[in-house]
Structure 1
Amino acid sequence: MTLTDPPALASTATRQPGRLRRAAGWVVIAVLVLGVSLVGLQLAVQAPQRDGFDPEGRGYNGTLALAELMRQQGITVTIERDRFAAARALDDQSTLVLADPPALSDGAVEALLEEATSVVVLTGSSRMLRLLDLGSDADASGTRPQSPSCRLPELDRVGDVAPGRLFTPNPGVTACFTEGEGAGLLVSEADDRRRAIIDGSRLFTNEHLATDGNAALGLALLGQQPHVVWYVPSYTDTDLADTADVDTLGSLTPQWVTPAILLLLLAGVAAGIWRGRRFGPLVVESLPVMVRASETMLGRARLTAKAADARHAAEAVRDGTLRRLATRTGLSPQTPVDAIADAVADRLGVARGSIRDILTSPLPTTDAALVPFARHLSALEAAVDDAVRTERNTP
């Protein structure tokens, strides 16, 4: 082939995909990346996570287990996600259970609390302590299980619990699960109204309910009335005039972050199109060196001998013999062993059973048995070669 004759290069070029097709693929990838990024940003900015203590939540921070436990004790549990519906569901035989609602103003929270004669707050926020007039935050937290250590009859059968967050009670407020100057539970009973606050994140969630006496404490606090109205706060139930006042990921993120992220994504896609490797079809290329078949055979033989795997070596020898016998008798290498044995027996004029015994006998497992096995196969090939040669030379 001369330098002016490039048929191979021309045929390779004709098999390469067009530039328009490659560009279309990169455009599709870029659109998918941008779509996924925009969806993720929208979910992060506009859809804040639902607060914990959800009595329908099956996750580790939900309280479905506690709600089902109260239902098993004959307590009716009503779940409301609207504050007005929760207020309408309350009566003199109801207990209002809630966490600190971040989307409600102090006035809306106080209006809801006024409708209930019994209230249990499951988050020890400073705002709820102030609105309930129960106390203030303590400097420490309770990490060791403590006994109730207070005169509340409903806690007589409650075992030790590790309350977590501790509070400093106001005068006239009952403090339970005390540790030092702090208490894990504050209860106020004045003017025929009962108010209680406790940090339930390590007590009443699905993850921790079965620990220590947490389940008994939950029933004792929430099960004093036959009816429980469980208010689950959300960002959609709000009385704030401007919802932008609520701190979210979108409000806390500078305005230049989103355009910068999109610009970086576009730059990455452009760099991929610019510097990305174009994979074309395989090109046949001659090897720089040639390896003799005998060297390959000897190398494999040395590896087999080093591994001392006589069975594997015997299997390789017999497979080679079967392929060669099939070729010499005019059969395909994929022909079954029995058919090859029958053809060889007919060619040699011997009993078929004797040939089958040689080609299908159990493989040797030792070097001592491998040598005669290989000799029998070699003698069989030599006999077939002689028979074929005799037939060709016979006039």
Structure 2
Amino acid sequence: MTTVAPPPTRRRSVLGWIAVGVVLLVVGGIGAALSGLGRWNERDALDPDSAGPLGARALAQILRQQGVEVIVARDRGTAAEELQAGATTLVLPDAPALSDGAILALTRRAADVVLIEPRSRTLDLLIPGSKAAGVAPADTVVQPECELAEAVRSGAVSTGAVYAPGDSSGMSSCYPAGGGFGVLVASSVAGGPADGRVAALDGRALLTNEILAENGNAALGLNLMGRHPTVVWYVPGIADTDLQNAHPSLGQLTPPWVSPVIVLLLIAGLAAAVWRGRRFGPLVTERLPVSVRAAETTEGRARLYARSRDALHAADQLRIPALARIGRALGLGAGSTAAEIADAAAARTGLDRAVVHGTLIHDIPRGDADLVAIDARLRHLEDAVHAAVRPERNPR
């Protein structure tokens, strides 16, 4: 049994699809790696041990040089334990994995709270009525324009996010810009000591290593965080959560209308496949190979040439096999040109060389009559060649 190899075009097509799949996998892997690097860079943001551009190690070192002890707590239990040591300042970034109760349990232990990445939920929880109010115009340096001593000593800064103050008593709103204020300070902590306070500012725009030396950023961070001898800098971890459903499923995260829409799309796709799909008829047996008589092929080609009125092409179909037969009769090789065959036929038969060249090569037919004439001259020339090659077969 003979195994038939697949056609080269099909093999190339399969290899092409494989190459496309490999390229997509490589691009996806590179994208995933870059995305992962981006996530790790985000984890270093406002980390007091990070020396990267988004870290806050420079501010932590300045606080230590001023005699303030900076304790980095990377879980909620450590932060709660360190806050019991006395008058302390809690530096609290955004902690979406903590419930309101967990956040209040930490802030009640602190004398001061500095929110360095506040969101509307945390603002409303610790400074009731306050909320995020957008972002100040880029590269806009503003003065404190308030009576808060720490802000007045710090001078002008370029705020990032701004906040709308609530109606709490003892509220100080500093650095007005873009429809809000860059720093909010409320003179009480929820459940904390009477002399405690909560400050809120955009730490990414003021306290990171790459911009701490600009304007009064370093002074503002030092003045707000250095009021007490100890700073507990809480860095929330991924697993540091008290939420009951911290890892919801995909079905819980999607809106309720998504599942019906997916089912409807699947039904529509199936209906379209049935509607537009190819329908195969019954199997038909056929005897292979199919034999086609040469006369039928010749007649079919002749009809095509006649329909297209391509007399020259039809003449070539008569001349090419005639040249091959005459060349074989004269003993010429397969590589002989048409001119060489014509010269040899003229020399062997004694016919005029120009006539032989015109019959085999040069004469251009103008219509069916010329084709009939060329066919007759070709037959006459072949007979003459055969008569010259084998004269004994032609009686005199």
- State the TM-score, normalized to the length of structure 1: 0.50
Asked if 1:178 is matched to 2:173, the reply is no
Shift, 1:138, TM fit: 2.0
Indicate which of 72, 82, 85 corresponds to 2:65. 72
How many Å separate the matches in 1 of 2:249 and 2:114?
Answer: 25
Gaps of 5+ in 2: 1-17, 189-193, 259-396
1:350-369 CA distances to partner (integer Å, 9 max, x unpaired)?
Answer: xxxxxxxxxxxxxxxxxxxx
How many Å separate the matches in 2 of 1:243 and 1:158?
Answer: 40
1:360-375 map, 5 Å? none
Asked if 1:52 is matched to 2:45, the reply is yes
Matched residue type, 2:238: Y
Specify the alignment match of 1:111 in structure 2.
105
Specify the alignment match of 1:138 in structure 2.
133
Specify the alignment match of 1:81 in structure 2.
74
1:182-212 CA distances to partner (integer Å, 9 max, x unpaired)?
Answer: 2111111133221111111110001110111
Q: What SS is found at the alignment partner of 1:224?
A: coil
Residues 66 and 204, structure 1, Cα contact 8 Å, conserved in 2: yes
Specify the alignment match of 1:157 in structure 2.
153
Q: What SS is found at the alignment partner of 1:197?
A: strand
Q: What SS is found at the alignment partner of 1:244?
A: coil
Specify the alignment match of 1:196 in structure 2.
199
Matched residue type, 1:137: A
Q: What SS is found at the alignment partner of 2:154?
A: coil
Matched residue type, 1:170: G
CA pair 103-161 structure 1, distance change in 2 beyond 3 A: same
How many Å separate the matches in 2 of 1:246 and 1:218?
Answer: 40
Shift, 1:136, TM fit: 1.6
Residues 134 and 161, structure 2, Cα contact 8 Å, conserved in 1: no
CA pair 89-41 structure 1, distance change in 2 beyond 3 A: same
Specify the alignment match of 1:290 in structure 2.
none
Shift, 1:40, TM fit: 4.8
Shift, 1:37, TM fit: 4.0
Residues 146 and 172, structure 2, Cα contact 8 Å, conserved in 1: yes
Q: What SS is found at the alignment partner of 2:175?
A: strand
Q: What SS is found at the alignment partner of 2:136?
A: strand
Shift, 1:153, TM fit: 2.1
How many Å separate the matches in 1 of 2:177 and 2:200?
Answer: 16
Shift, 1:154, TM fit: 2.5
1:214-253 map, 5 Å? 214-245=217-248
Q: What SS is found at the alignment partner of 2:241?
A: coil
1:284-304 CA distances to partner (integer Å, 9 max, x unpaired)?
Answer: xxxxxxxxxxxxxxxxxxxxx
How many Å separate the matches in 2 of 1:69 and 1:137?
Answer: 29
Shift, 1:142, TM fit: 4.9
Indicate which of 175, 185, 188 corresponds to 1:187. 185
- State the TM-score, normalized to the length of structure 2: 0.50
1:335-389 CA distances to partner (integer Å, 9 max, x unpaired)?
Answer: xxxxxxxxxxxxxxxxxxxxxxxxxxxxxxxxxxxxxxxxxxxxxxxxxxxxxxx
Residues 169 and 175, structure 1, Cα contact 8 Å, conserved in 2: yes
1:267-320 CA distances to partner (integer Å, 9 max, x unpaired)?
Answer: xxxxxxxxxxxxxxxxxxxxxxxxxxxxxxxxxxxxxxxxxxxxxxxxxxxxxx
How many Å separate the matches in 2 of 1:216 and 1:237?
Answer: 32
Residues 60 and 206, structure 1, Cα contact 8 Å, conserved in 2: yes
CA pair 245-210 structure 1, distance change in 2 beyond 3 A: farther
Residues 142 and 166, structure 1, Cα contact 8 Å, conserved in 2: no
Q: What SS is found at the alignment partner of 1:156?
A: helix
User: How many residues are matched?
Assistant: 226
Shift, 1:181, TM fit: 4.6
Give identity over the alignment, percent.
41
Q: What SS is found at the alignment partner of 1:119?
A: strand
Shift, 1:241, TM fit: 2.4
CA pair 246-152 structure 1, distance change in 2 beyond 3 A: farther
Q: What SS is found at the alignment partner of 2:153?
A: coil
How many Å separate the matches in 1 of 2:248 and 2:44?
Answer: 18
Matched residue type, 2:108: E
CA pair 39-157 structure 1, distance change in 2 beyond 3 A: closer
How many Å separate the matches in 2 of 1:55 and 1:187?
Answer: 22
Matched residue type, 1:116: A
